[in-house]
Amino acid sequence: MYEKIKLLSEIKELMENDKLFEMFKKTFEDYEYYFNTTNYIVLNVYQFNDHGSIHVLLTARRALEILKIIKKFGIQTTAEKLGKPFKWSKFIVAFGALFHDIGNMIHRENHYLFSTILAEPIIEKLAKEFEEDDWLLLKALTLNAIYTHDEATQCTTIEGSCVTVADGCDMEQGRSRLVHKKDKVDIHSVSALAIEKVEIQEGDNKTPVVIDVKMRHLSGIFQVDEILTKKIRNSLLSGKVKIRIHAENQVLEKVV
């Protein structure tokens, strides 16, 4: 359903920064074996769903979509609050999303912590290349975005919030972030397979971000409540996101 080339093209368009995109693209290509190895372990050892190259690119694209929307509606990012340019936020969101799941290659439990450990030397090198003077702050904020992507961890930055909400949106047709065995039939798997499409839209000043979730039947709500809703509530975007569910000729809305 999703292709790497198309996702990279969409990421480039959202970044609006050729230098940053070239860094991102090269880094993705250099470390794609990390994402592939992570996915191999997740699929064959844990027997869960996709956590590989497509997932990290899709999360990066959606996180940048959310970032663009909140910028348009005047929400200041954490980097901007610290006196840094908006391009910092794009760096943090993009690389935070790219490396957020690599810790799964060590263990599913506390994978977000292992992701920060594995990504630390990579992020340091990238931060130094992107920002000569204050690279350590940039590195710290990017590692923060990686660490806080899990719904069990409270987000402390706007950029990290973009990553965690974007991560929770990857739940189309079995791609759910909710851990479930692929060959087991239960509410987890039935709900995961119910969701057909997730799209991020612009809202209004009250709820700038609207997430449209189209599903075959209402069992998909379990998926939305267990992952996406929890991620939004643990983010700094809580209260600024509306989930709009389309199912069985109904449209259900809620502000999270």
Whether 141 is covered by a domain: the verdict is yes
- What are the backbone angles phi and psi of residue 180, rounded to the nearest 5°? -150, 145
Regarding pTM above 0.85, the answer is yes
* Domain C-terminal end among 143, 169, 195: 169
Q: Per residue of the chain (256 residues), what is the pLDDT tens digit?
A: 799 999 999 999 999 999 999 999 999 999 999 999 999 999 899 888 788 999 999 999 999 999 999 999 999 999 999 999 999 999 999 999 999 999 999 999 999 999 999 999 999 999 999 999 999 999 999 999 999 999 889 999 999 999 999 999 998 876 655 554 555 555 656 776 889 999 999 999 999 999 999 999 888 898 899 889 999 999 999 999 999 999 989 999 999 9
Q: For residues 220-236, b (16+ Cβ closer than 10 Å) or e, as one string?
A: bbbbbebbbbbbbebbb
132-171 pLDDT, tens per residue?
999 999 999 999 999 999 988 999 999 999 999 999 999 8
Residue 152 domain boundaries: 4-169
Whether 35 is covered by a domain: the verdict is yes
Whether 182 is covered by a domain: the verdict is no
Whether 177 is covered by a domain: the verdict is no
Do 231 and 142 share a structural domain? no
Do 237 and 159 share a structural domain? no
Do 248 and 126 share a structural domain? no
Whether 66 is covered by a domain: the verdict is yes
* Domain C-terminal end among 140, 169, 198: 169
Token match 């791609």: residue?
A: 175
Whether 179 is covered by a domain: the verdict is no
Number of separate domains in the chain:
2
Do 110 and 194 share a structural domain? no
- What are the backbone angles phi and psi of residue 153, rounded to the nearest 5°? -115, 130
Do 91 and 37 share a structural domain? yes
Whether 174 is covered by a domain: the verdict is no
* Domain C-terminal end among 122, 140, 169: 169
Whether 176 is covered by a domain: the verdict is no
Instruction: Say which residues have a Cβ less than 8 Å from residue 47's Cβ, sequence separation at least 6.
Output: 181, 182, 183
Amino acid 172: pLDDT: 85
